Structure 1
Amino acid sequence: MSSTDYKFFGWVAKDKNAIGNMTWEEYTPKTWTENDVDIEISHCGICASDLHTLRSGWGATDYPTVVGHEIVGKVVKAGKNVKHLQVGDRVGVGAQSGSCLECKYCKEQREPYCDKGQVGTYNGRWEDNSKSFGGYADYARVPAHFAFKIPDGLASESVAPMMCGGVTVYSPLKQLEAGPGKKIGVVGIGGLGHFGLLFAKALGADPVAISHSHGKEADAKKMGAVHFISTGEDKDWDTKNRRTLDGIVCTVNNADMPIAKYAKLLKPGCKMIMVGLPESALENFSLTPLILNNVFIGGSAIGSSKEIPEMLEMAAKMNIRGWVQTRPMKDANQAAIDMEDGKARFRYVLVNEKHSGKL
């Protein structure tokens, strides 16, 4: 155990107008247990989930909160019950920080689907009613079960967005059994989608990029895409590419997405897995393509304690790097605004310059 002469300061959101209006101040972290670690944060990715939460887009946020669940940093305190981590280890934390660890799904290392529900890395409540706070901050306190040692060779700014954005697409790619001989579509070439292309390629599949315009085509091809479909600029794109894909991972979160047309791209018996979550119900959704083509639509949430280390090992072994742009932690408000405006190519990562040189 190390010195605990540090305080928890972070960018605190106080109401639904918090995008661009967070305030840097001290807050009280979760109540310490001997199963926890304290992490000195060096990097934190900005995820679309942060924006949804800041503005209460997915329901009323439990303000005040500190968002950020793509955390990388150094363990500075470890509880007596923590065996797999020690002070000084570089670790990452994703979107989940708690579950019962006792139900069927937790024992199968499928913690995101815990029978009792999960505790988010931010905007959650623990059993004693203390709150979970995220990574736009100097320090994070989380149960050690949900902190993962990062392999050497992975740059912290590159690996941070893998902790949520990366594993959120890695998990459905594994569910689709992406590999040699399979063509896998990735809808939306952004923070999640660009990892979808990189990981699909690494798994041996042929990635197909699907985006509104051709503006990201050159980048998508560099990420491994063998084909590019523009839903906004290619005439009859759904008909011309009908039944060409063995699976789709859909990362977009706009309620007016042409989901029925996406379904037409699948071969009979194949699946589309949704990971983007719109703030309102889907519009203009017809079941006809599903029934007539024998295709399936499902969903997937983040990644598990089995999938995250597996993903990190693959990224280290195959030298996979996220396409990120770093921003100083002090500029979190402007970075959130720029993320909202779609300016990231393809993920913003906040750098806590007080700590980033210590790893």
Structure 2
Amino acid sequence: MATPTCYSTKAFSTSSAKSPLAPATIQRREPGASDVQIEILYCGVCHSDLHFARDEWHFTQYPAVPGHEIVGRVTKVGSGVTKFKVGDSVGVGCLVDSCRTCADCQNGLEQFCAGMVMTYGGMEKQLNAPTLGGYAQSIVVTEEFVLRMPANLDLAAAAPLLCAGITTYSPMKHWKVGAGQKVGIVGLGGLGHMGVKFARAFGAHVVLFTTSPNKVEDAKRLGAHEVVVSKDEKQMAAHAGSFDFILDAVSAEHDINAYMNLLKRDGNLVLVGAPEKPLPVAAFPLLFRRRSLSGSLIGGLPETQEMLDFCGQHNITSDVEMIRMDQINEAYERMLKSDVKYRFVIDMASLK
């Protein structure tokens, strides 16, 4: 296969784990027959971006360009593209390709494909080079991995739906969260605040767990029916054995057994946060009430489009704070202190 010709575009990248993100010029492939070229208007800032930029997962290749909550406008389409046209509002999430043939891909679960290609930190097949993410002016993606954005949603506030949104929507759909259920959300950050919104929209009774008493009112504004300060043993004990489903969105070390004890018989706790160290899990709370502990990873392309359409129908977006591209290093430091409500989004016009 011939190597495609390329064009240059402005971006922000980092050259090492200890270097700040800084202006750069990167190469993108010219669109092939099945490709869509997108002018990036907004890009959400995910905690994964920080892990990747600083090589905390130990697979980063430099120079590195993070960003996988991408929304923008189609500027060019290949001759074989049928789903999109110039001017369409579109999104790109955590994946830009997969093998297309395995059982996972055939079932619309591309996130579990052994050959999945991540939006950054993967290998771009066409260029045989590392993929570069959305902290850039434009990107080229094969049409099957481009998503249609609902016309009624604010694009900047919708950007985090491409990761934080699908990460919380997918496990709730899989475990059939709905009316008549009691659902807990652990943590009120970028993921947790989306979890509250989705659980409420699915018709569940929503309880938010937080270590911070100052988040109580905000959690209720976002849709929680009740808020429990998890450091308060009496508040926790009052909910013992009462939850159908708990979504744990905390990436810091914490006592997961305290939440396992809140589940009903056959209740399930799903991890979507990714603590750095393994969490000790006691056997008896699982055994005696047939509870389960599971995990979930983003979502496939069909489910991500379904989630976006659901958000369009229910007018769900993320609560965001807009930043300029040159504020990204400061935003990373603030993110480490949980000093954001609840997702930073980069206005890519600031890169021009």
Shorter-normalised TM range? over 0.9
Q: Which residue of 2 aligns with 1:166?
A: 165
1:255-278, Cα deviation, whole Å (9 max, x unpaired): x21111111111111111111112
Q: Is the 8 A contact 1:57 1:279 kept in 2?
A: no
User: Root-mean-square deviation (CA), in Å?
Assistant: 1.9
Spell out, residue by residue over 1:294-325, the C-alpha distance to the aligned partner (whole angstroms, 9 max, x if none): 11111111111121221112211112232111
CA distance in 2, matches of 1:124, 1:32: 19
Percent of pairs with identical residues: 36
| Aligned mate of 1:334, from 318, 330, 334 | 330
CA drift at 1:6: 6.2
3-state DSSP of counterpart to 1:153 = coil
Partner of 1:7: 8
1:236 to partner: Cα distance: 4.0
Aligned residue identity for 2:14 = A
**CA deviation after TM superposition for structure 1 residue 292, in Å:** 2.1
> Any idea what the Cα deviations from partners look like across 1:49-102, whole Å, max 9, x if unmatched?
111111222223122110010001111122222210112111011111111111
**Paired residue for 2:237?**
239
Name the amino acid aligned to 1:241. H
User: Counterpart of 1:182 in structure 2: which amino acid?
Assistant: Q
Q: 2:262 matched to 1:261?
A: no
Q: Which amino acid aligns with 1:158?
A: A
The question of whether the paired residues in 1 share the 8 Å contact of 2:6 and 2:29 is answered with no
| 2:189 match | 190
- Normalised to the residue count of structure 2, the TM-score between the two structures is 0.93
The match for 1:275 is 272
Contact preservation (8 Å) 1:29, 1:131: no
TM-score, normalised relative to structure 1 = 0.92
Matching of residue 205 in structure 1 with residue 194 in structure 2: no
From 315, 319, 322, the counterpart of 1:323: 319
> In structure 2, what is the Cα distance between the partners aligned to 1:220 and 1:293?
29
| Distance in 2, Cα, partners of 1:320 & 1:60 | 34
Contact 2:272/2:295 (<8 A) preserved: yes
Q: How far is the alpha carbon of 1:22 from its aligned partner?
A: 0.8
Identify the range of structure 1 (47-56 vs 9-18) with the bigger mean alpha-carbon deviation.
9-18
What are structure 2's unaligned runs of at least 5 residues? none
Q: How does 1:287-298 map to 2 (within 5 A)?
A: 287-298=283-294
In structure 1, the partner of 2:140 is 141
Contact 2:212/2:229 (8 A) holds in 1: yes
Question: Is the contact between residue 207 and residue 224 of structure 2 (CA under 8 Å) also seen in structure 1?
Answer: yes
Match of 1:70 in 2: 69
Partner of 1:313, secondary structure, is helix
Deviates more, 1:237-246 or 1:292-301: 237-246
Count of aligned pairs between the two proteins? 347
- Counterparts in 2 of 1:307-322, with a 5 A limit? 307-322=303-318
